[in-house]
Amino acid sequence: STLQEWRPFNKTRVYMSDLESALHYSLRVELSGHISISGDDLIALKKYINVLAKYFPGRPSVKSALKTVDSWLQQQKGVEIKYSDFRDVLDNTVQTSDAVLPEGVQWVGCQGSQAQFRGYPCAVWTLFHTLTVQAKEMSSPDPQEVLQAMRSYVSSFFGCRPCATHFESMAQESMDHVTTLSSAVLWLWSRHNRVNNRLAGELSEDPHFPKIQWPSPELCPSCHGLKKTGEHSWNQEDVLTFLRNYYSSARILTDYLQ
């Protein structure tokens, strides 16, 4: 029933349309399920928006919308906020300036071969890899900042609750060991591969986008090596270089932007 036009895209690139669509979906759809936000959820929201305001490598108008919401949120000193007030700040910015987060979703690199596949969860991963790489590019002072923001956002708000439980147990196990911006980039990469490994062959997998240990040898030949035993090994230095290039702000494609 949801036949829609296929948007041709380059599988080796990141699309701004996916990143902006992830923002729209998280801030206008996922969050709107919470009429009021307080306690740990409010802390999580503040951290998430703050990280987006600092590191989202977007168009000036989108960055300025995020900064407006961030400064409003930092001023909220009460124990709770109403989602409707948050939403007014997010949407009303359009009247006072050119600050605006486009409405609606337009998946490009995160398109699925059918409507139930990919889309938002794909774009959440893409967003967070991009943010860890951006924090590295900008030499952020706190190596865990982006990961902890992602962790608490997922725990408080991510609609897929089994995903949130799985992610939290990985975070509890080893996120505290991250001490550099580079190891934050690699931590998220290796946990994402664990998730890929767990989900490979499941019904939730889009047959046109099989879950692999990423990046493939085609995408990054030098990332792959062999141990003396013949077992596969990752060349982490090359993986880091690859990720910093793949998710770099300079390479994000702006095709299909609204």
Cα separation, 178 vs 144, whole angstroms:
7
Rg of the chain, C-alpha, whole Å: 18
89 binds ligand FAD (CB under 6 A): no
**What is the number of alpha carbons within 13 Å of residue 211 lying toward its C-beta?**
17
Q: Among 36, 106, 155, 196, indicate the residue that binds ligand FAD (CB under 6 A).
A: 196
Cα separation, 88 vs 69, whole angstroms:
10
163 binds ligand FAD (CB under 6 A): yes
Please give the structure tokens belonging to residue 246.
Answer: 């793949």
Closest CA to 51 of 190, 149, 160, 138: 149
**Which of 74-98 are b and which e, b meaning 16 or more Cβ less than 10 Å from the residue's Cβ?**
eebeeeebebeebeebbeebeeeee
Q: Which is nearer to ligand FAD, 72 or 125 (CB)?
A: 125
Q: Which is nearer to ligand FAD, 102 or 121 (CB)?
A: 121
244 binds ligand FAD (CB under 6 A): no
Chain positions 41 to 70 lying near ligand FAD, rule: CB under 6 A, are none
199 binds ligand FAD (CB under 6 A): yes
Interface stretch with ligand FAD, choices 29-37, 70-78, 85-93, 194-202 (CB under 6 A): 194-202
Q: Which is nearer to ligand FAD, 91 or 255 (CB)?
A: 255
Q: Which residues contact ligand FAD by CB under 6 A?
A: 110, 118, 121-122, 124-126, 129, 154, 160, 162-163, 166-167, 189, 192-193, 195-196, 199, 204, 206, 209, 214
